[in-house]
Structure 1
Amino acid sequence: MAEQSAGLPSQRQVIELLDGEFARAGYDIEDVVVDAGARPPRVTVVADADGGLDLDAVAELSRIASTLLDDLDSAPYVLEVTSPGVDRPLRTDTHFRRARGRRVELTLNDGSTLTGRLGELHEGVVGLVVREGARGALTVRDVDRDSITKAVVQVEFSPPSPQELELAGQTGGET
């Protein structure tokens, strides 16, 4: 049996117990954080899916996790099921695919940054809708995925233009 921190389940135990049921429900476990130092101790399960997580999904995943984890003989803790959050760096192709249509800031391996609307990822190339030229015309710039050292979704307070969404390969209902 894996070593437990202060009587809590290990990250590996939580993933092994929950992964199959979460996958059957259509969700991926992105991370598990076991924090024995928190008061009260906390186990946080970060999950995601192509359509994201709404409150109903969080409630269902919390019920599934609670039922499965209740069978463990462990110290009391608070269970939290959550989505990755908007400030999570995009690291995998799945992250890029799920963020399509969102505004992102990319840091490239030469140290430069690009900000634009994330388009499709195809054969290692990401489409980024950017404004270029004196008039700020929208265009799609291809960026090699391997040249991106950091990618973070930006918080937006107003909806994107239909033209931006179209260039990103989306309609208004998909973001």
Structure 2
Amino acid sequence: MSGVKTEAIGHVVEPVLAAAGYDLEEIVVLTPPGRRDIRVVVDRDGGAHLDALADLSRELDAALEATDLMGEQPYDLEVTTPGIGRPLTLPRHWRRNQGRSAKIEYTDDGKSTSVVARIGSLDGDAVTLVKADKGRLRTIELNLDDVQRAVVEVDFRRPGEAELRACGLDDDEIARRRAPADADPADTDPADTDSDN
């Protein structure tokens, strides 16, 4: 399958995604011997949970099946959200990851530097980063044009309320982020879902 095929898949699925309120982040087509795997990476404000992704997978599968694009050979369709380690390249990526820990490499007065900090509020093309340093909070204002690379990191510590508030999160989101992981299954991070054809 060539890049043209991936682009053609995008033309079929993008209207379905837009109608459901999702952005298409990436399409990956893998062709291990004897099969085809299609991964559609999507995102939206507020994230997406397992049930929503399962519904979306069925809609995308129906849209693909309504065309002759995929031909007769079976394929596996996976609909997923961006995971840890995916680069933050667009303003919406920063907005949707507000409050999360990220490693950011950027240019500061002509020098390359890096920081691990929480993503704060986004204002146009500038983002506020919140760095907890020895019990104190420090903010860094950063223009997105100065970012060389940024990725969300696995966060092994539960942030304090003051740290999340400094990121610009509202009370409901702060309560959700501070709740124990097993408090409510509906509040877990987005999950992947597969649809076999």
TM-score normalised by the shorter chain: which range applies?
Answer: 0.7 to 0.9
**What is the aligned counterpart of 2:96 among 95, 98, 108?**
98
Task: Give how far 1:19 is off.
Answer: 0.9
SS at match of 1:111: strand
Q: Distance in 2 between matches of 1:46 and 1:25?
A: 14
Letter in 1 for 2:97: A
Task: Give how far 1:76 is off.
Answer: 1.4
What's 2:190 paired with?
Answer: none
What's 2:124 paired with?
Answer: 123
SS at match of 2:141: strand
Counterparts of residues 43-122 of structure 1 (less than 5 Å): 43-73=38-68, 74=71, 75-109=73-107, 110-122=111-123
SS at match of 2:116: strand
What's 2:142 paired with?
Answer: 143
What's 2:194 paired with?
Answer: none
TM normalised by structure 1 equals 0.87
**What is the aligned counterpart of 1:32 among 27, 35, 40?**
27
Structural RMSD (CA): 1.9
What's 2:191 paired with?
Answer: none
Q: Distance in 1 between matches of 2:162 and 2:34?
A: 48
Q: Distance in 1 between matches of 2:33 and 2:7?
A: 19
Counterparts of residues 1-20 of structure 1 (less than 5 Å): 5=1, 10-20=5-15
Task: Give how far 1:92 is off.
Answer: 0.4
After the TM superposition, which of the residue ranges 150-159 and 36-45 deviates more from structure 2?
A: 36-45
Q: Distance in 2 between matches of 1:32 and 1:124?
A: 26
For the pair 1:154 / 2:153, whether they are aligned, the reply is yes
Q: Distance in 1 between matches of 2:176 and 2:9?
A: 32
Task: Give how far 1:37 is off.
Answer: 3.4
Letter in 2 for 1:79: L
What do the CA deviations read for 1:123-168 (whole angstroms, capped 9, x no partner)?
A: 3221001134xx4410221112111100111111332110011100
Task: Give how far 1:51 is off.
Answer: 1.1
CA contact (8 A) 2:102 2:150 kept: yes
Q: 1:174 to 1:145 in 2, by over 3 A?
A: farther
What's 1:168 paired with?
Answer: 167
CA contact (8 A) 2:98 2:120 kept: yes
TM normalised by structure 2 equals 0.78
Task: Give how far 1:39 is off.
Answer: 4.8
SS at match of 2:112: coil
Q: Distance in 1 between matches of 2:21 and 2:176?
A: 18
CA contact (8 A) 2:106 2:113 kept: yes
Number of aligned residue pairs? 167
Identity of aligned residues (%): 34
**Unaligned stretches of 5+ residues in structure 1:** none
